[in-house]
Structure 1
Amino acid sequence: MDLIVRAVDVGSGNTKYVVGTEGTEIRCASFPSIAYPSASETQAWSASERRKTVSIPIGHLFYEVGPDVHLVADSVRATQLHDEYTDTPEYMALLRGALHLMKQSRIDLLVVGLPVALLHLKKAALEKAMTGTHEVGGGKTVTVVKALAVAQPQGALAHYASVHKKMATIGNEQSLIIDPGSRTFDWLVARGMRQVQKQSHSFNRGMSDVLRLIAAEISKDIGSPYRDLDAIDLALRTGKQPVIFQKSYDITRFMPMAEAVAQQAVSAMKQYIESPHSLQNIILVGGGAFLFKKAVKAAFPNHKIHEVKEPMFANVRGFQLAGQNYARTVMAAPRADQGATPSGSKP
C-alpha cells in the first residue's frame, strides 16, 4: 500500500496545503491565516448562508478557519507576529483546518515548514506536536503517523530543481533561495540540497510591514484609521486601487516606501552572503516575490533571478517532493523487509 504524504505551510498571511498528487502534478490550495475564536462550535447555516469554514476545537475554545473566514464578523489576524507562533492555539487551528480540508483520515508523513532562523530551535517540538491524532472539527479526526519540519526556502529549492529538471545536477551547485513572506524575510544558501547554516537566516521584515506602513500613511491622509490591509495588498499586486469613502484611492505615491522596505531586507541579507560570485542559482519565491524582485535584481545585477509559477505555493510543493522522497527511501524500506502478511489474512 502506498504511503500517504501531505504537506502544509502555515504562513502569517496564508496557510498553504497539498490537496493531492497525480503523476508529477502537485495540487495545492490555501486559505487566509485567520482563526476566529468562539466559545462554541459554529452553528449550522442554511445552504444560502453557509460559509466555507470549519470550527476546530483547541482547549476550551473553537477556532473558525477556512477560505470564507473573512465573512466572520470582527475577525482578526490570528497568527501571532512573533517567534513563538508555532506554539499558539491559532497555529494549531490553522494546521488542523488544512488537515480537515485534505479529506484524509490518516497521513503517514506530514511535512511542515519553519522560518530559517527558527528551524533548529523549533524543529523537534513542532514535529512532536504534529504527530498523533488531531481533532479537525465536525467530530472528525486525522492521524499523523510521522512529521518532518524543514526550512521553508528549502522546499522552494526542491520545487525549483524538479520543475527545471535539475535534480541530477543541482547537487553540485550553489544556490540562494529568497523567500519574502507576510511576516518574515527568509533566505537560504545551499550547496546541493544542503543548507549552509551560517549564511542562511530570516528576520521579521515582510509584506506585513509594507502593508502596515501604507495603511498608516493612508490614515494620516484621510484623517481616520484605515486598516483594510487586504485592499492594499490587492492594489500592490494587481493595480486595482482601494475604494475609500466611495472613491478610488491612488496608492502609487507610496510605492517608494514599499520598495525601501524591500531594499532594507535585501541589504541585510547580503551581509550574510560570503561569495555571491559563486552562486549558480538565485531563486525568488514567496507571496512577496513580486514586490522584492526589483531590490533582489539590484543587489545581484550580474545574476539571472529565477522565479517559478505560483510562487506562493513553491515551498509547500517542495515539502511534498521532499516528503515523497523520504517516504520512498526511508519509510518504505522497513515495510518491504517485514515480508509477513497481517495477522488473520491469507498470503
Structure 2
Amino acid sequence: MELTVRAVDVGSGNTKFVTHADGTDIRCASFPSIAYPSGNDSPSWPASERKKTVCIPIGQLFYEVGPDVSLAADTFRAKQLHDEYTETPEYMALLRGALSMMKVSHIDLLVVGLPVALLAVKKASLEKAMMGRHDIGGGKAVTVGKALAVAQPQGALVHYASEHQKMATIGNELSLIIDPGARTFDWLVARGMRLVQKQSYSFNRGISDVLRLLAAEITKEIGSPYRDYDAIDLALRTGKHPVIFQKPHDMKRLLPLAETVAEQAVSTMKEWIEAPHSLQNIILVGGGAFLFRKVVKAAFPKHRIHEVKEPMFANVRGFQLAGQNYARSAIGAPTRERVQVMQGDGR
C-alpha cells in the first residue's frame, strides 16, 4: 500500500508546499505568507475578478491566503516575526491554505519545518496540532494521520544529498547547511544526517532586517516615509532599481549596508562551529541565499560553497524525501537514513 506523504514549509516570507511527488520527481509551489482576515468566506473582490486565493476558516474568522493575496490585503501586512508564530491563527491559515492547494483529502504523513532554535521546544506541540481534521473551507476538509516536524535546514541537507547522489556516502561526512530566510538565519551542522545540536542554531537576522534597514535609508534620501519592502526585495534579486516618485532610484550605494546584516549573521554562526576545517560540505539554501552568497564565500575561502537549484524549495523538497523514506519503513520497506534525519546526536 502506497502512503500519501506531503510536505509544507510555512516561512515568514513564503509558504512552500509539495503539489506532486513520485520518487525524486517532486513539484512544489508557494505563496506569500500573508493571511488576510475577514468576517466571512467571501473573497475580497467580485467573482468576475476571481484571483488565486482561498478563504480558510479559523475560529470565528476567515483568512484569505494564496498567490494573489497581496491584491486582497490592505497596506498593513502583519508578519509573524516571533517565536510563537506556529501557534497563531495566521500560521494555521497558511498551512491549511497549502493543504487546500494540494488537492488531496487525506495525508498519511505530513512533514513540516521549524527554525533550528525552536525545534526542541515546539516539535511536539506542532506535530500534535498538525494531526487530525483540517477544515479548508467550502465544506471540504483534509485529514492528517501523522505529522513530523524537523529543523528546516535538515530538509535542505536531504535534498542536496539526493540531488548529488550522495545518500550512500554522506553518512561519514560533516556538513554545514546555511539557510537565511525572511525572519531567521538558520544553520545546522550534521554528521551524516544527524544534527550536531551544540553547533546548530538560529536567530532573528534574516532578509526582513535587510529590507527594513534599506527602507530606512531610502526614507532619509527621499525625505518621505518609504516602506515598499516588496520593491526593495525585487530590486535586490534582479538588480533593477525600484521606481520611486516615477523615477528609478539607484540602490547600488546601499548594497554595502545590506551586506553588513549578512556579515553579522555569518560571523555569529562561525563562533558556534568548532572545527570548520573538518567540514566536507557547506551548503547554502533558502530564499536569502542570493544575498548571503558573497559573505559566506568570504567566511570560508578554502571551501567550495554548494548551492542547489531553486534554493527556496530546498527545505520542503528534503522534507518530502525524508517523509517518503520514513513512510516506506512504516510499511516494511527498510531505509537506512529514515529516522536519522529526524533526530540529533545530542553532542
Question: TM-score, with normalisation over the residues of structure 2?
Answer: 0.94
Assess if the C-alpha contact under 8 Å between 1:79 and 1:85 holds in 2: no
Cα distance change on mapping 1:324 and 1:75 into 2, 3 Å: farther
Q: Does 1:30 align with 2:26?
A: no
Question: Equivalent residue for 1:197?
Answer: 197
Q: Judging changes above 3 Å, is the alpha-carbon distance between structure 1 residues 119 and 73 closer, same or farther for their aligned structure 2 residues?
A: closer
Give the Cα separation in 1 of the matches to 2:78 and 2:7.
21
Q: Deviations over 1:285-332 (max 9, x none)?
A: 000001101111111100000000000000000000000000001x21
How does 1:256-271 map onto structure 2 within 5 Å? 256-271=256-271
**1:33·1:77 contact (CA, 8 Å) conserved in 2?**
no
Larger Rg over CA atoms? 1
How many Å separate the matches in 2 of 1:48 and 1:308? 40
- 2:321 alignment partner in structure 1: 321
Unaligned regions of 5+ residues in structure 2, if any? 334-347
Report the CA distance shift for 1:73/1:193 in structure 2 as closer, same or farther (over 3 A). Answer: closer
Query: Once the 2 structures are TM-superposed, how far is the Cα of residue 224 of structure 1 from its aligned partner?
Result: 1.5
- Residue pair 2:115, 2:184 contacting (<8 A) in 1 also: yes
Q: Is the 8 A contact 1:172 1:192 kept in 2?
A: yes
2:158 alignment partner AA: A
Amino acid at match of 1:33: S
Question: Measured at CA, do residues 257 and 169 of structure 1 come closer, stay the same or move farther in structure 2, by a change above 3 Å?
Answer: same
Match of residue 174 from structure 2 = 174
Query: Which residue type is aligned with residue 150 of structure 1?
Result: V
Partner of 2:135: 135
Answer yes or no: is the 8 Å Cα contact 1:36–1:78 preserved in 2: no
Query: Which secondary structure state, in structure 1, belongs to the residue aligned with residue 331 of structure 2?
Result: helix
Could you tell me which residue of structure 1 aligns to residue 340 of structure 2? none
Equivalent residue for 2:288? 288
**CA 1:30–1:43 in structure 2 vs 1: closer, same or farther (change >3 Å)?**
closer
Offset from partner CA, 1:48-91 (integer Å, 9 cap, x none): 41011011111111110000001114154344111111011000
Q: What SS class does the counterpart of residue 182 from structure 1 fall into?
A: coil
Indicate how the Cα distance of structure 1 residues 40 and 47 shifts in structure 2: closer, same or farther if over 3 A, else same: closer
Given that residues 187 and 201 in structure 2 are in contact (C-alpha distance below 8 angstroms), is that contact kept between their aligned partners in structure 1?
Answer: yes
Q: Distance in 2 between matches of 1:220 and 1:37?
A: 33
The 5-angstrom pairing of residues 96-111 of structure 1 reads: 96-111=96-111
Do 2:174 and 2:281's aligned partners in 1 also have CA atoms closer than 8 Å?
Answer: yes
Would the aligned equivalents of 1:107 and 1:144 in 2 still touch at CA under 8 Å?
yes
Distance, in Å, in 1 between the alignment partners of 2:62 and 2:157 is 36
Between stretches 14-23 and 162-171, larger displacement belongs to 14-23
Moved more, 22-31 or 148-157: 22-31
Structure 2 counterpart of 1:227: 227
Kept in 2, the 8 Å contact 1:21–1:27? The answer is yes
Alignment of 1:237-276 (within 5 A): 237-276=237-276
Q: 8 Å contact 2:36–2:73 — kept in the other structure?
A: no
Could you tell me which amino acid in structure 1 is paired with residue 320 of structure 2?
Q
2:211 is matched with 211
Deviation at 1:102, TM superposition (A): 0.3
Alignment of 1:332 with 2:334, yes or no, is: no
Distance in 2 (alpha carbons) for counterparts of 1:175 and 1:17: 25
Say whether 1:307 aligns with 2:301: no
* Secondary structure in structure 2 of the residue aligned to 1:37: strand
Give yes or no for contact 1:187–1:202 (8 Å, CA) kept in 2.
Answer: yes
Aligned length: 333
Distance across 2 between alignment mates of 1:182 and 1:137: 28
CA separation of 1:299/1:105 partners in 2, compared to 1, >3 Å: closer, same or farther? same
Deviation at 1:141, TM superposition (A): 0.4
Cross-structure match for 2:345: none
Unpaired segments ≥5 residues, structure 1: 335-347
User: SS state of the match for residue 333, structure 1?
Assistant: coil
Q: TM-score, normalised by structure 1?
A: 0.94
Does the CA-based 8 Å contact 2:33-2:94 persist in structure 1?
Answer: yes
Aligned partner of 2:3: which letter? L
Q: 1: CA distance between counterparts of 2:322 and 2:257? A: 38
- What is the CA–CA distance in structure 2 between the aligned matches of 1:76 and 1:121, rounded to whole Å? 31
Counterpart of 2:36, as a letter, is Y
